[in-house]
Amino acid sequence: MAFRTSIFDLPMIHGLLWFPLLLVFVLLTALGWLERRRQNLFRVWAEDSELSKLDGSGAARLKQGMLSWSSFEAGRFQEQGNFEVTKLEMLELMALTSGEAPLTQESQGRCRLRLIGNGQEMDVPFADAEQARRWVDQLMARARCDL
């Protein structure tokens, strides 16, 4: 008994082997389109801002002395909070997951920027500690200029 393969069986097997690759391509294309849309919406949202950021934790902007931050949900930016920079008394970099522990100089990765002033405490999430450190310097400079 000899094994015989028809010429029509080979293209079907070949096509089935490439099908998962086609699905991955379609998925990556859709994710790329969503990221491009998020970046375009951010450009409109952050227009005329003195300072802005977009990362995996969300978006933030400083516009006319008001710091606002949002998360990207359901195809739009959802406002999470506001803080008036002229009321800023203190800024702290905090670890994201370890409660009230301040961020060390060596720490990298996700963190939060704690804004304290006018009887309020608010946290702005950051995906990158270096970017958060730059924001601390820039916000303190703006707060001193506005005072």
DSSP-derived secondary structure for 103-147: PPTT--S-EEEEEEETTEEEEEEES-HHHHHHHHHHHHHHHHHH-
Rounded-to-integer distance, Cα 46 and Cα 55, Å: 13
Q: Name the CATH topology of 46-146.
A: PH-domain like (2.30.29)
Q: What confidence category does residue 147 fall into, taking pLDDT thresholds of 50, 70 and 90?
A: very low
Q: Who contacts 145 (Cβ-Cβ below 8 Å, separation ≥6)?
A: none
Can you give the pLDDT at residue 146? Answer: 47
What pTM value is reported for the model? 0.71
Q: What is the pLDDT of residues 118-144, one digit of tens each?
A: 888 888 888 888 888 888 888 887 776
Computed over every residue of the chain, the mean pLDDT equals: 82
Q: What confidence category does residue 99 fall into, taking pLDDT thresholds of 50, 70 and 90?
A: low
Long-range pairs, 2-6, Cβ under 8 A, ≥24: none
For CA atoms 104, 92, 64, 75, give the dihedral sign. Answer: positive
Res. 7: pLDDT tops 60? no
Res. 2: pLDDT tops 60? no
Res. 105: pLDDT tops 50? yes
Q: Rounded mean pLDDT of 75-80?
A: 86
Res. 43: pLDDT tops 90? yes
Structure-block tokens of residue 62 = 């400083």
Can you give the pLDDT at residue 75? Answer: 80
Closest by CA to 50, choosing from 60, 61, 34, 58, is: 61
- Identity (one letter) of the amino acid at 115? L
Rounded-to-integer distance, Cα 92 and Cα 109, Å: 16
Q: What confidence category does residue 10 fall into, taking pLDDT thresholds of 50, 70 and 90?
A: low
